[in-house]
A and B are shown apart, each in its own frame.
Chain A
């Protein structure tokens, strides 16, 4: 355990990394953090099935959104709020319930944002330790720790956008660590725990199954996954749960991008490529590193569907691992990361750009979005599409190169 937490970089750099994060935490705001914390606050009142509760109380609630995450997110955030309630103070509930724009101007907003993002800091550091344990040798540990701690992309994704993705990201990194030690059942269990927060880690389960040496292990992985997911879902299983948690985000978008082939049928692009990747992994006799498969599966999805910016965090630990083992890949990963960020930056959503600064002053809410600025001269959707297409082209080529190099 002590070895797991060994810091392989100079202590001062570790302190600097924490300092940077603490500097960012209270001063940036994306409304999602308020919405899902408002929804999770009902755990305190004893609500177990948040999906049913939100649907049945929609009329009287100030924020009408459905809870789109999987149940563990609700219990984790709700539980954390209960523990931190003495520090959050008496006005916190009123702040969460405030549905108009003035909430961000209230005194105490810095405290709320800092406390709500504090678990992210711990998980962020845990990801660094986990990644450090995935490589061999002090020099490689140092390299990957620096890559994870000092890249602006993850700092922005975790602390500026403030979504909960760092939780499943840590759990998938941990799963990779156990898989690298040959403990596939434990690895699949961590993927399922991660899927209890966000569903995407389930995509990685087939890669673990293909690594199993016998059918018994495959069966155990399947059983572990099914039993765990059923245990998570059963307490909240209802129409509201399925319509809220499944009808939004990744699960529907992944099957929407395709080409009609007539008679109501469609060739679904992400499924085509993911299926190809799974068959490739099935026939892999060389044991290509799992992170390359995890990375490729996610990059296929981001290339072919409209994605949320915070989803890019899912891929970050795998990208850091790949980069730490072969620095020449930075020639691909850096421009691809910039392109990936530029796509959501152009969404018609003010909280993708300048409005993130609203805790500092509400004047930043009054600046037109990049989308509106571009709209005066050109069609922003076309620019967005060009960026996304360039990202897709580069990403798919990079994924192919990653896997192919192993075959040569």
Chain B
């Protein structure tokens, strides 16, 4: 019987408690993911890509970008620079092609942009040491001009993150009403059978 209690404990902890514990390991969350058109553009030498970011950049601590690097051919640095509206460089992040598998979502991380910052920022992607033959290819947004970018925000409150995670989970389950009803009825019926006393 001991293995019954251990297994029940492990499953219950895995389903209900682990999501909470893991949330403490989350340092940033994703903003709205920008869909890519599937078209790519190479970045090398003077060929750069830029994008204005109109959303509030407060607590922004990185961006995620889809990059193609077939057979890991590029082993040079790619830079992401963040400029304010007046052109001042406020953040910079660098990733080496060696750690960019083909088609992966690559995170460019930097220190969070403080809450006092407001207004628009501009991202510029460049790889001055790469050549056209080993250039990294960046997935473009729907307009086929700018890179498709997903902002990453610093977590400012773990309890807030926990609440949003668990409430988001429940909302997602309940949004599929038919399935949620059937699933909860099955779970409920099995639980009642389990708890019912023999008469």
CB distance from B34 to the nearest CB of A (A): 11
Chain B, Cβ-Cβ closest to A357: B19
Among the stretches B45-53, B86-94, B118-126, B185-193, the one at the interface with A is B185-193
Taking a contact as CB atoms under 8 Å apart, the answer to whether A110 and B3 are in contact is no
CB distance from B146 to the nearest CB of A (A): 18
Taking a contact as CB atoms under 8 Å apart, the answer to whether A12 and B193 are in contact is yes
A5 CA / B126 CA spacing, docked (Å): 66
Among the stretches A40-48, A99-107, A226-234, the one at the interface with B is A99-107
Partner of B190, one of A19, A357, A360: A19
Residue numbers in A under 8 Å from B10 (CB-CB) = 152
Contacts A108-B176, A363-B161 hold; do A152 and B22 have CB atoms under 8 A apart?
Answer: no
Partner of A16, one of B4, B19, B33, B187: B4
Among the stretches A21-29, A277-285, A308-316, A400-408, the one at the interface with B is A21-29
A155 located at the interface, meaning its Cβ lies under 8 Å from any Cβ of chain B in the complex: yes
What are 6 A-B contacts with C-beta separation under 8 Å? A16-B194, A20-B8, A108-B179, A110-B173, A354-B25, A360-B169
A-B contact count (CB 8 A): 105
Q: DSSP class of B's interface residues: helix, strand, loop or mixed?
A: helix
Among the stretches A143-151, A238-246, A287-295, the one at the interface with B is A143-151
Residue numbers in B under 8 Å from A27 (CB-CB) = 15
Taking a contact as CB atoms under 8 Å apart, the answer to whether A114 and B183 are in contact is yes
CB distance from A95 to the nearest CB of B (A): 12
Partner of B191, one of A19, A26, A150: A19
Interface bits A335-374 vs B (CB < 8 Å: 1, else 0): 0000000000000000000100100111110111000000
Taking a contact as CB atoms under 8 Å apart, the answer to whether A360 and B19 are in contact is yes
B115 located at the interface, meaning its Cβ lies under 8 Å from any Cβ of chain A in the complex: no
Taking a contact as CB atoms under 8 Å apart, the answer to whether B3 and A150 are in contact is yes
Partner of B23, one of A20, A23, A108, A363: A363
Taking a contact as CB atoms under 8 Å apart, the answer to whether B183 and A110 are in contact is yes
A306 located at the interface, meaning its Cβ lies under 8 Å from any Cβ of chain B in the complex: no
Taking a contact as CB atoms under 8 Å apart, the answer to whether A19 and B187 are in contact is yes
Q: DSSP class of A's interface residues: helix, strand, loop or mixed?
A: helix
B14 located at the interface, meaning its Cβ lies under 8 Å from any Cβ of chain A in the complex: yes
Partner of B4, one of A13, A18, A19, A22: A13
Chain A, Cβ-Cβ closest to B152: A366
Taking a contact as CB atoms under 8 Å apart, the answer to whether A22 and B11 are in contact is no
A102 CA / B66 CA spacing, docked (Å): 13
B84 located at the interface, meaning its Cβ lies under 8 Å from any Cβ of chain A in the complex: no
A26 CA / B15 CA spacing, docked (Å): 10
B172 located at the interface, meaning its Cβ lies under 8 Å from any Cβ of chain A in the complex: yes
Chain A, Cβ-Cβ closest to B177: A107
Taking a contact as CB atoms under 8 Å apart, the answer to whether A361 and B7 are in contact is no
A107 CA / B171 CA spacing, docked (Å): 9
CB distance from B15 to the nearest CB of A (A): 6
Residue numbers in B under 8 Å from A18 (CB-CB) = 190
Which residues in A have some Cβ–Cβ distance to B below 8 Å?
Answer: 12-13, 15-16, 18-20, 22-24, 26-27, 100-102, 107-111, 114, 146-147, 150-152, 155-156, 160, 354, 357, 360-364, 366-368
Residue numbers in B under 8 Å from A150 (CB-CB) = 3-4, 6-8
Contacts A110-B176, A366-B29 hold; do A361 and B19 have CB atoms under 8 A apart?
Answer: yes
Residue numbers in B under 8 Å from A15 (CB-CB) = 190, 193-194
Residue numbers in A under 8 Å from B191 (CB-CB) = 19
Chain A, Cβ-Cβ closest to B155: A363
Chain A, Cβ-Cβ closest to B62: A366
Taking a contact as CB atoms under 8 Å apart, the answer to whether A363 and B26 are in contact is yes
Residue numbers in B under 8 Å from A363 (CB-CB) = 23, 26, 29-30, 161, 165
Contacts A19-B187, A357-B18, A366-B29 hold; do A110 and B194 have CB atoms under 8 A apart?
Answer: no
Taking a contact as CB atoms under 8 Å apart, the answer to whether B4 and A146 are in contact is yes
Chain B, Cβ-Cβ closest to A109: B172
Chain A, Cβ-Cβ closest to B172: A107
Residue numbers in A under 8 Å from B186 (CB-CB) = 22
Residue numbers in B under 8 Å from A362 (CB-CB) = 30
Residue numbers in B under 8 Å from A152 (CB-CB) = 6-7, 10-11
Taking a contact as CB atoms under 8 Å apart, the answer to whether A110 and B172 are in contact is yes
B70 located at the interface, meaning its Cβ lies under 8 Å from any Cβ of chain A in the complex: no
Residue numbers in B under 8 Å from A109 (CB-CB) = 172
Interface bits B150-178 vs A (CB < 8 Å: 1, else 0): 00100000000100010011001101101
Partner of A146, one of B3, B25, B175, B178: B3
A360 CA / B1 CA spacing, docked (Å): 31
B35 located at the interface, meaning its Cβ lies under 8 Å from any Cβ of chain A in the complex: yes
A363 CA / B160 CA spacing, docked (Å): 13
Chain B, Cβ-Cβ closest to A64: B103
